[in-house]
Amino acid sequence: MNIIMNSFCILLYSHSDYSDVWDLTFGQLYKHINLDNISIIFCVDQLNNYKIDDRIKVVYYDNNLIYTDRILTNIINLNYDYILFLHEDWVITDNFSNEYIIKLINFMNKNDILHIRSYKNYGASNTNPDIFHKDVNICNIPNDSGNFISLQPGLWEKNIFKELYSIKCHKPNILEAKSNSIFRSKYKNRFYYELTSLIAQDSNMFPHIVYHQRMAIVWLHCRCNVDCY
């Protein structure tokens, strides 16, 4: 089966307490992603009059909910088969390729792969990856890895993403720790990462930096001519 564009979306999660990052986050999205060709859903508590491009769909959550329920309530009825999940502090730094994402998703669908991580970040492991799909630039995450689950930019099959966010947690790092052993035992060799992407900026799926104010300002000013001051 060939996956068409409207079978996946980018889901961007944030909170209004971090709205100081939004100019950078959305500015880079507008620069590197063609909004006419991809669905972006912004999951947030409130916008506080912040203006967002009309092509981005905004969905809201109740601030009284814990972290995982905030996301789960907005994805239960999401009409997409695959989700590229982001937090607002993962700032894209280069052009986004729809064609590459579609190639990955078609491969996931054909080979029953549930998740592809945007770069190598699986922590300590006593074993090495042993399943390589070089035509799509991915290899398996070792089953004994310390970070079998890592909430960095990555593609998720919709139902596995729902299963992950059904585990009730107040913070992303707690969700990672709590879900590691559960998912390792159930989904051996069904989680992958981009083989040649050793750091976040090298990712073909979603080249990015993790926002830390001074580091991001210097990097973007030097490399992307973005004035963040």
What is the distance between the terminal CA atoms of the chain, rounded to a whole angstrom? Answer: 48
Q: Count of domains in the chain?
A: 1
pLDDT of residue 228: 44
Residue with tokens 């099959």: 157
Report yes or no on 228 lying in a domain: no
Report yes or no on 136 lying in a domain: yes
Amino acid making up residue 131:
I
Element (H, E) at 155: strand 154-157
pLDDT of residue 216: 45
Contact 35, 129 (CB under 8 A): no
Q: How many helices (H) and strands (E) does the chain have?
A: 6, 11
Beta-strand pair 56-60/39-44: parallel
CATH code, domain carrying 54 = 3.90.550.10
Among candidates 110, 198, 151, 140, which has minimal Cα distance to 11?
151
Per-residue pLDDT tens for 69-91?
Answer: 999 999 998 999 999 999 999 99
Report yes or no on 229 lying in a domain: no
Residue 35 φ then ψ, to 5° = -70, -15
Domain of residue 17, residue span? 5-223
Amino acid making up residue 210:
V
What is the Cα–Cα distance from 100 to 69, expressed in whole angstroms?
31
Element (H, E) at 106: helix 98-111
Report yes or no on 97 lying in a domain: yes
Residue with tokens 């593609």: 155
3-state secondary structure of 40: strand
User: What's the whole-number average pLDDT of the chain?
Assistant: 90
Per-residue pLDDT tens for 14-61?
Answer: 999 999 999 999 999 999 999 999 999 999 999 999 999 999 999 999
Report yes or no on 43 lying in a domain: yes
Report yes or no on 65 lying in a domain: yes
